[in-house]
Amino acid sequence: MNKRYVEIVNLVKAYPNPVGDPIRVVDGFNLNIAEGEVIGVIGHSGCGKSTVLTMTAGLNEITNGNIVVDGKEIDGPGPDRAVVFQAPCLLPWMTAAQNVMLGVKRVYPHATKRQRKDIVAYYLSLVGLADAMDKRPREMSGGMQQRVGIARAIALKPKMLLLDEPFGRLDSLTRMDLQDVILDILDREKLTTMVITHDVDEAIYMSDRICMMTNGPRARVGQVLDIPFERPRDRKAVLAHDLYYDLRGCLIDFLEKFEKKKHTDQAEEIAAPRSAKEPPISTRGDVSARDATLTNPLTLAVVSPMA
Amino acid sequence: MLTKLKHLLLKIIDLTALGFLEPIVRLCYGEEPGTQVKKIGQFMMVPVLVFLLFIMVWSAFAPRHKTKSGEVPTPAVTFDSYRSIMTFHGREGDKERAYLATGDAREKWLAEAEARLEELKPLRAEAEAAVEEAEAAHQGALTATYDPALAEYNEARQAAMEESKQRIAKLKVRAEGIAADDSAAKGELLAVYRAHTAQTANAKSDYQKLKQQADAILKAKFPQLAAARARLTRIAEEEQYLKQLVKMLSGGNREARVADGQTKLDALRAQYAGAEGAALFPLAKSINSAESRLARTAESAYAKPWTLPMQIIRSVYCVFVGFFMGSVIAIPIGVLCGLSRTFMAAMTPFIALFKPVSPIVWLPIFLIVIGGFFPDPDKHWFFTTLWNAPLIGWLKINPAFLASAATVAMCSLWATMVNTALGVASVDKDHINVARVLRLGFWPRLFKIVLPSALPLVFAGLRISLGVGWMVLIAAELLASSEGLGKFVWDQFNNGASDSFAKMVVVVFVVGIIGLLLDRIMIVFQRAVSFEGSVATV
């Protein structure tokens, strides 16, 4: 197995600032991802998690540094790095099958119509939508739409799967369902995956390693935490594991440290104007996320206030 | 099963944006009857009542305004002239069919028409008698009221003139007695003369009033007479029509004319067979011309005049031709504008410059330009092919038609162009990201992502365009003298018959209703291509 299947080296994202030095949202982000590994990226909102992901997807320009996937430096977006966004982003004038077919056509240009149809059907049944292939997005629930989004991404046979808070807009029950759907697929397809979340429990349940990011601007990797649980994972077993609360405590400590830092560093924060493209830091949101996690230790899927 | 029907009906209502029908469907299924009745009252009864109120106000105020073309027609008069338009249309259709009728059907129809003509004779006599009687009654009524009024006027006028004469005579006498240096008496004379003219003017206005009163009596409507005359006119018109019909079914019929020509030709041929020498040449000449005349007769058709329904169809056809031409130009240019800022910049001056130009300016230009392509339109293959084409041959598409359509295209394409550009330029960023991740090429990106996403706005533009086109067309037809609704209005305006005004009012409603239908059709299309979250939801 290639330990450095994906290499992110000294990644920098800077936005021009008309009144001073460019604002470096992400500065010196380094991360290696092994083949087939699931890496969770966690951090406070606005810290630059999504920026790293969109840069990896090629949708956002890289200011400095580079990203190498499977020995090739990335250059713009491509079907080798499939993205599942927070919003399902389905094309509303197409059925579920047509949405998936759009990618399948691109990736299997030489397949016959029949074969392509089978591929689409296979991936839709993988996400549990075998019966809803001909439904249009408006006839589906948010969860179902997100499943189509997942099927569309996986059907590309990507080298890397990028999940940008894929469950951020779903209710907790649907969220648990979809976590299991994705984990099933990942176990089967052994996809190298980067999943962005600000839900501690989701990060532990899904990832092999969790990369904790410091607060932006100038965000970078603060600490990387190994999650030693076996795959395939069982929710109950993970929850009951001795290590579970230690890992969780470690993550929360890290996040809390930065939470405090953010309050003490407020003067500095104000001095450095924030780029319009990054959402402003929502202190209230993060605190309540933490509070919710702390007061409901038995709930794995915490309803994020961002949802 | 029934629930399915209900859902289907509600879906259709939703698609066609006929929301006011929804409570009726729901009421039929007994769904919250109170709410539905309230909704029906709100969305159906209120508009109907307001419309009735409008009709009442119209009826009340229309007759008060007198014009050179008669009174403003009331709703009743307008409806009558609508019926007469339709009768005319029906009768012309009958005549056309009569001209082409053959064999037994012709015989039978002829018998029917003649029978009806016989039936009309006593009716006509009766109607004439009624008119005479009404006229006599009217005359009697006039002698009772008008004559005394006129006499009074004459008397007053006479008296006034007499008085005036006497005053003048007195003045003359007075003037004779004034010496050259008597300036006081001169001034007095002038003052008295001024008083005399004022008095004369007063007296004149007094007896003029009497004259007006008398005239008003003469002009006052006499409904009995009007009704009797209208009845006679109706009968006379029907008689006229039946006479023409009989002609079309007997001597004037195509079959009859062909048979007639054939016998003449046969006679000539027999003569030719028996003749010899110098007599042969003129006979050969007449046989040849008889043959060609016969062939022409066998192909001939009834020269049917344009009727309003035919003109409506031609107008609708014309607006769609223009709308189609405009859309074919506007959509691709709009797409290019939306895709490329450079192209948009290149097009902006043209859009800004030509958009505000009135159809009245475009039409003569197009008439000249199109006329240039067809120097002799009657013999040009393009038109002769169209005239012989099935279904649209009778529309007699000519350069004026094309110029009207081109004007419609030129005036209506802007809304589609601008909306298409906007739709293409404002595709959801998420959808563009999907295309980027998939690295879709230009054409798949255009057809799978950009165009479907822009379609609701494109159709919103098309809807506006069709509405504009319909308005423009009527004016264009009027100017171009291209057969259609505009030409109908212009003909009525120039015609000045007693019901011309009412016929123009009929056209107002016809144009309105057709415009409404066109808009509805476009709404259905627009709804069909809309999706959740699209900008242009109706």
Domain ranges in chain B are: 2-45, 104-232, 308-529
Residue A265: pLDDT band with limits 50, 70, 90: low
Q: For B221-247, how does the pLDDT look when each residue is reduced to its tens digit (9 = 90+)?
A: 788 888 899 899 999 999 999 999 999
Q: For A161-179, how does the pLDDT look when each residue is reduced to its tens digit (9 = 90+)?
A: 999 988 888 888 888 989 9
Distance of CA B18 to the CA centre of its chain: 28
Which residues of chain B neighbour A83 with C-beta distances below 8 Å? 433, 437
Cα(B31)–Cα(B24) distance, rounded to whole angstroms? 10
pLDDT at residue number A262: 58
- Arch. (CATH architecture) of A6-80+158-295: 3-Layer(aba) Sandwich (3.40)
Q: For A63-89, how does the pLDDT look when each residue is reduced to its tens digit (9 = 90+)?
A: 989 899 998 999 889 889 999 988 888
Amino acid in the structure at residue B537? T
Q: Do A83 and B534 touch (CB under 8 A)?
A: no
| DSSP-derived pairing of the beta strands A160-164 and A192-197 | parallel
pLDDT at residue number B536: 53
pLDDT at residue number B310: 94
pLDDT at residue number A41: 93
B533 touches chain A (CB under 8 A): yes
Ramachandran category for residue A48: left, alpha or beta (phi over 0 → left; psi -120 to 50 → alpha): left
Q: Do A92 and B533 touch (CB under 8 A)?
A: yes
CA distances from B352 to A57, B349, B363, B459, B467 (A): 41, 5, 19, 22, 20
The shortest CB-CB distance from B434 to any of A91, A93, A105 is to A91
The shortest CB-CB distance from B438 to any of A87, A102, A137 is to A102
CA angle (B102 as vertex; B96, B105 as ends), nearest 5:
95
Backbone angles phi, psi at A164, to 5 degrees: -105, 90
Contact B242, B117 (CB under 8 A): yes
Q: For A118-158, how does the pLDDT look when each residue is reduced to its tens digit (9 = 90+)?
A: 999 999 998 989 898 999 988 899 899 999 999 999 999 89
In the CATH scheme, what is the homologous superfamily, with its name and number, of domain B308-529? MetI-like (1.10.3720.10)
pLDDT at B68 over 80: no
pLDDT at residue number B439: 87
Q: What is the ipTM of this complex?
A: 0.76
Q: For B248-290, how does the pLDDT look when each residue is reduced to its tens digit (9 = 90+)?
A: 888 888 988 999 999 999 999 998 988 888 888 888 999 999 9
Identify which of A129, A172, A176, A173 has the alpha carbon closest to the alpha carbon of residue A149: A129
A228 touches chain B (CB under 8 A): no
Residue A270: pLDDT band with limits 50, 70, 90: very low
At which residue do the structure tokens 């859902």 appear?
B7
Top residue of A93, A94, A98, A169 to mutate, by most chain B CBs within 10 Å, is: A93
Which residues of chain A neighbour B449 with C-beta distances below 8 Å? 91
Which residues of chain B neighbour A93 with C-beta distances below 8 Å? 452-453, 455, 529, 531
Which residues of chain A neighbour B534 with C-beta distances below 8 Å? 92
Kindly state the DSSP code that residue B20 receives in the 8-state scheme.
G
Residue A269: pLDDT band with limits 50, 70, 90: very low
Which residues of chain B neighbour A94 with C-beta distances below 8 Å? 448, 452
Which residues of chain B neighbour A76 with C-beta distances below 8 Å? 436
pLDDT at residue number A288: 38
Q: Do A106 and B532 touch (CB under 8 A)?
A: no
Residue A290: pLDDT band with limits 50, 70, 90: very low
pLDDT at B24 over 90: no
Q: Do B433 and A87 touch (CB under 8 A)?
A: no
A58 touches chain B (CB under 8 A): yes
A85 touches chain B (CB under 8 A): yes
Identify which of A169, A178, A174 has the alpha carbon closest to the alpha carbon of residue A205: A178
Chain B: closest CA distance from residue A90 (Å)? 7
pLDDT at residue number B82: 94
pLDDT at residue number B176: 86
pLDDT at residue number B198: 93
B139 membership: H or E segment, kind and range: helix B103-176
Q: For B171-189, how does the pLDDT look when each residue is reduced to its tens digit (9 = 90+)?
A: 888 888 888 888 888 888 8
A106 touches chain B (CB under 8 A): yes
Residue B533: pLDDT band with limits 50, 70, 90: low
- Averaged over A286-294, what is the pLDDT? 38
Kindly state the DSSP code that residue B446 receives in the 8-state scheme.
I
pTM to 2 decimals? 0.79
pLDDT at residue number B465: 96
SS (H, E, C) B175-242: HHCCCCCCHHHHHHHHHHHHHHHHHHHHHHHHHHHHHHHHHHHHHCCCHHHHHHHHHHHHHHHHHHHH
Residue A285: pLDDT band with limits 50, 70, 90: very low
Average pLDDT, chain A: 82
Q: pLDDT exceeding 70 applies to what percent of chain A?
A: 84
Backbone angles phi, psi at A81, to 5 degrees: -125, 90
Top residue of A81, A83, A89, A108 to mutate, by most chain B CBs within 10 Å, is: A89
Chain B: closest CA distance from residue A230 (Å)? 32
Residue B1: pLDDT band with limits 50, 70, 90: confident
Any idea where the domains of chain A sit in the sequence? 6-80+158-295, 92-156
